[in-house]
Amino acid sequence: MTKSAGFDVFFYEAFAEERELLQKLLPENIRAGYASETIQEAGHDEPPALLISTRTQSRIPHEWAQKLNGILSRSTGYNHLLDYQSETEFKGAMGYLPLYCNRAVAEQAMMLWMALLRKLSLQIEQFNTFSRDGLTGLECSGKTLLVVGVGNVGHEVVRIGRGLDMRVLGVDIVKKFDDVDYVAVEQGAPKADIIVSAMNLTRKNRGYFHYDLLKKFRKGVIFVNIARGELSPIKDLFTLLKEGHLGGAALDVYENESRLAVALRNKQMVIDDPFFAMIHEMKQMPNVIFTPHNSFNTKEALQRKAEHSVKQVVHFLENNAFLWDVPEE
């Protein structure tokens, strides 16, 4: 597909509910195209519009850098756009959506840690025999929750934890909120029962939750990542689970997520690949929960996401700039 298709903006990775809202909210004079697939799955040789919008799994071809005026990521994270800019010297505008899903993502984190505390996977499995053996779980009240990355999402996690009568500690180099009890990660490690990763991904913190750091936490700690998969290497999590050091792990985001998502959607996950083999084995563990990067996906957040996306598109088409530009690192 080429620019001759006549689109003002083209949306990749637009699932059905999102596409329906975008079509409803976009002004009639804006010509928009849509694909549920990533760029690499859609197979477009040329950019279908001068402004494209993706989520986080599309890999924008390097040769498009000189053919695009703008890229809008419909996500709160933007590291993938900075990577593209660095790799290609892209000179166009880059935008993102910083404020639409804070509560939704925080509630997903809560759902995941509570499911692990109460052994939900085993509870569901053992309904078949109505057996309660081995199902004794833990309550949130009195547990210590360590929130690593206390931005807009992390602060919502802090508030939820407090509402559950948990002791909540925060780790961040920027102490943005006055109501957070901040500690260094090394101080929080021996105290934490649950870790929630809510950090922005930067070039400096990739692999932050590596084996040696997580080994400093008490045995049985639960790890939840609703931020970016590159923060928690799968190999390290896999090893710590096999050793019994991690009490459980719940991921909504993944290292090599684009590769993993495309392989799963197209039933091409080859188990003799070491990365896929670890994912496959972890998926079978009763103390591991994987969800498909879906933390943002509530009716309320999706409405805000579509509204904010439309604001970004309209502003860009009128001003050749975004309302919310990607910050420079």
The answer to whether the CB of 198 falls within 8 A of the CB of 151 is yes
Would the pLDDT of 239 be above 50?
Answer: yes
Would the pLDDT of 5 be above 60?
Answer: no
Would the pLDDT of 115 be above 70?
Answer: yes
Q: Is residue 178 part of a domain?
A: yes
Q: How does pLDDT run across 12-23, given as a tens digit for each residue? A: 999 999 999 999
Would the pLDDT of 187 be above 80?
Answer: yes
Domain that holds residue 221: 102-290
pLDDT at 49: 98
One domain, residues 55 and 168:
no
Q: Domain tally for the chain?
A: 2
One domain, residues 197 and 114:
yes
CA dist., res. 184 & res. 171, Å (int)? 6
pLDDT at 270: 87
CA dist., res. 148 & res. 267, Å (int)? 34
One domain, residues 253 and 111:
yes
Confidence of residue 4 (pLDDT cuts 50, 70, 90): very low
* Domain CATH code at residue 65: 3.40.50.720
One domain, residues 118 and 175:
yes
One domain, residues 142 and 283:
yes
Task: Name which of 258, 245, 250, 244 is nearest 232 in CA terms.
Answer: 250
Amino acid 165 reads D
Q: Is residue 327 part of a domain?
A: no
Give the contacts of 133 (CB within 8 A, at least 6 positions apart).
126
Answer yes or no: pTM beyond 0.85: yes
Q: How does pLDDT run across 39-94, given as a tens digit for each residue? A: 999 999 999 999 999 999 999 999 999 999 999 999 999 999 999 999 999 999 99
One domain, residues 229 and 175:
yes
Q: Is residue 326 part of a domain?
A: no
Give the contacts of 56 (CB within 8 A, at least 6 positions apart).
73, 75, 77, 80, 257, 258, 293
Average pLDDT on 97-102 reads 96
pLDDT at 313: 98
pLDDT at 3: 41
Q: Annotate 250-316 with DSSP letters as a single string.
A: EESS-TTHHHHHHHHHTT---TTSHHHHHHHHHHT-TTEEE--S-TT--HHHHHHHHHHHHHHHHHH
pLDDT at 328: 84
Here the tokens at position 242 are: 């096999």
